[in-house]
Amino acid sequence: MKALFITGYTEPDSSYLYQNDHIQVQSHEKLPDISAYLLSSVLNKNHVENEIFELNSFQEDEIKRMIQACGNFDCVLISSNSLQWATNKRIIDKVRKEHKGITVIVGGIHPTLFDEHILNTTTVDFCVRGEAEKSLAMLLGWLRKKKGDLSTIPGISYKGDGEVVRYGDAKPLRDKELDQLPCIDYSSLPRGKYSHIPIETSRGDAYYNPFDEIPHHKLWRAMSPTGIYEGIRKAQEYLDRVNSDYVYIIDEHFTAKEKRIFDFAKVMRKNRAKIETKIIFKTRCTDFLYGSLAEYIGEFTHKIIMEPICGYNRGLMRIKRGYTTEVIEDTARILSRYIPADSIEYRFMTGIPGETEKEADRTVKFAGNLQDKYGVNTGIIQFSLLPGSIYFREKYEKGEIHPSIFDELAV
């Protein structure tokens, strides 16, 4: 059983408008699909032959190259969020047109949320729901042998006798199981295409977050300090393939559980000669109020990203951030003692549900003042409803959104 991951044709991970002397400059973070590269590494560990195909555009020559590549494999694997789904649906259609017998397996947040819709409206063979590190290898093993009880594979859905069959959800990986995952092999990453090498050191969100497309909002699991160090050590081997010298930790809240981060800093200091890179990570404002954590981790930090979202206290209370605008300012003042101010970034959002135009203006003004006063970077984006987010689920459960809206989005 030979599997081909198709990935690569995606928009930048984030796009923020930065205020710099009143001139707006757009900054892009373009990251490879960590799901494809992690699952490929997991399959390698399980001795399942696989490759990754990076699609660079939807030009005719690229599509031909993709179709030709698929001819050497038994199945195609695609991970997709909802905003990528229309593009991935077109990829599936083109592959299926030329290779009718190939098995198509999809996973990611969109198939997790909308597996029944996908199976009823496309030629997809299997949806893998939730975390796929165990389920995917089991499914490919079943496909190779075509023997055994398919119902023993958790988290899969498929079409059987005209009806969608759904087996029980896969259990989220535990902390120790995250540590046991292989370090991601980025050796096949195309050179110069992406901005950073991404790794993850935890899953879920340690705090209430209604904005992000996270499958497990109330379940936070984390790698050990040694596991984090090993991930960074391995990731730096591939920095010559991207357009920066830094490792991007994609966790929603890297510094949750303070002791873990202090212990991580100790491991990093002990092995400093082996680490040539620094890290970019997201964190929560309150983690740096007293300076000690900033002092410990500052020497390993290239950039700290915080997402207070609102620049006024009523909004911060509404989205349950657990701090005030005064705390945001305190973190800017404290952090700038240990790292350069231009390595500190605050991300805000306007147009969130329940916000007035006047309140949105207060956020814009606060972000500008924060940058002027402390020299930090501030970015503002417009709210968008991301599938998998708490705001989205509220609307979806009320029947106000149908999954078909994602089937025909422009590429």
Q: What is the mean pLDDT of residues 325-340?
A: 94
411 in a domain, yes or no? Answer: no
230 in a domain, yes or no? Answer: yes
Exposed/middle/buried for 152, CB within 10 Å: 0-12, 13-18, 19+?
A: exposed
| 86 secondary structure, DSSP code | H
Same structural domain for residues 75 and 214?
no
pLDDT by residue (tens digit) across 348-395?
A: 999 999 999 999 999 999 999 999 999 999 999 999 888 888 888 888
**Which residue, chain included where needed, has tokens 């089937």?**
407
pLDDT-based confidence at residue 26 (cuts at 50, 70, 90): very low
402 in a domain, yes or no? Answer: no
CATH number for the domain harbouring residue 203 = 3.80.30.20
pLDDT-based confidence at residue 17 (cuts at 50, 70, 90): very low
| 298 secondary structure, DSSP code | G
82 in a domain, yes or no? Answer: yes
3-7 and 75-79 as β-strands: parallel, antiparallel, unpaired? parallel
- Structurally, the chain folds into a number of domains equal to 2
| 174 secondary structure, DSSP code | P
pLDDT-based confidence at residue 28 (cuts at 50, 70, 90): low
CATH number for the domain harbouring residue 160 = 3.40.50.2300
CA-based torsion, 263, 269, 272, 278: positive or negative: positive
Same structural domain for residues 351 and 391?
yes
409 in a domain, yes or no? Answer: no
Same structural domain for residues 385 and 244?
yes
Would the pTM of this model clear 0.75, i.e. be above it? yes
Same structural domain for residues 324 and 208?
yes
Same structural domain for residues 155 and 245?
no
Q: Which of 171, 202, 235 is the last residue of a domain?
A: 171
Same structural domain for residues 78 and 187?
no
Same structural domain for residues 215 and 165?
no
Same structural domain for residues 272 and 243?
yes
What pLDDT score does 384 carry? Answer: 86
253 in a domain, yes or no? Answer: yes
163 in a domain, yes or no? Answer: yes
118 in a domain, yes or no? Answer: yes
Same structural domain for residues 344 and 262?
yes
The range of the structural domain enclosing residue 343 comes to: 175-395
Same structural domain for residues 245 and 330?
yes
Same structural domain for residues 302 and 320?
yes
